[in-house]
Amino acid sequence: MQTATEIGANHTGMDISPTAEEMLENTELTEPRGDERELAKLRAEYGSEADPVGTLPQTEGSLALLMDKLGERLAFERSGARLYDALMVKCKTGGAKIAAQELQHIRDEEAMHFALCGAAIQSLGGDPTEQTPCADVAGVEGMGLMQVLTDPRTTVAQALHAILVAEMTDNAAWEELIELAQPIGNDDLVARFQKAQENEAHHLEKVRAWYKAATMEALD
């Protein structure tokens, strides 16, 4: 596996193209029609008529947002465990100087957070098997991350960059969950969320350091 970005025959830029000059003529040869604002207008028109991506089932009004966000966290942590599964393979293949036990530890914590979210949803009278609207949208957000992790051509540093995106989001999301859980007065739940947030802060710190090291290593 490639461990660093190499110098090679990249064909995408114009500087190496023998026909760049003719290509450049395109700008002058085009006489565009219409007003670019039409695009935003059409998007807005669809936006005003759109149905939601989905709904929550019967939930006590004050809990609705919390349940949606717990569903999102559950989905994200479950995917997070899978991201680390892929990262462990990448690190092993790429000869990364990251202890496998450390990766395994984070991976297991992501799986525990998934279970924690499921238990919290159940304790509040919800169904942890349900895919909430925010869970669905978070799945869309994360589609590119797994593509990066499982592409055999990506380097450890590139994979860690994708993990960094996930961990930064994860940290912000646990903070939000704690804020949403506090008003319902369930101290035990808040305490467990705070513990999860501490874990996530630790993950972020580790991933930042690994990413930096892997990127610098590529310079050597």
Partner 1 sequence: MKGILQEKGVALEKQRLTWRDMVQKPISKLDDDAYTRVRVILMNGIELEASRFSHACARMNPPALQRLLADVRIVEQHQATLINWLVGPDHSPLEATIAYEQVAIDVTAGVAMREPDPYLAQVYRFGLLEDFDHLYRYSALLDRLEGKDANNILQSYTDILPARPTLDHHRAPQDNVRKPYDRKKAAPLSKLHALTIMAAEQQTHNFYMNIGPMYADPVARQLYAEIASVEEQHVTQYESIIDPEESWLEKWVLHEVGEVYNYYGCMQQESNPRIKALWERFCDYELGHLQVALAAFKKFEKRDPEEIVPQELPEPIPFASQREFVRETLANEVDLRADGSEIVEKDKESKASLRYRKEVNANGSPSETISAGYRWAPGSELKLKVA
Query: Where on the chain is the footprint of partner 1 (CB under 8 A)?
Result: 8-12, 14, 17, 19-20, 22-24, 26-27, 29-39, 42-43, 46, 140, 147, 151-153
Quick one: 86 or 120, whose CB is closer to partner 1?
A: 86
Quick one: 150 or 194, whose CB is closer to partner 1?
A: 150
Quick one: 45 or 108, whose CB is closer to partner 1?
A: 45
Residue 130 C-beta: closest distance to partner 1, Å: 22
Quick one: 37 or 62, whose CB is closer to partner 1?
A: 37
3-state helix, strand, coil in the chain (%, to 5): 70, 0, 30
Residue 79 C-beta: closest distance to partner 1, Å: 18
Residue 33 C-beta: closest distance to partner 1, Å: 7
Residue 10 C-beta: closest distance to partner 1, Å: 5
Residue 49: burial class (beta carbons within 10 Å; 0-12, 13-18, 19+): exposed
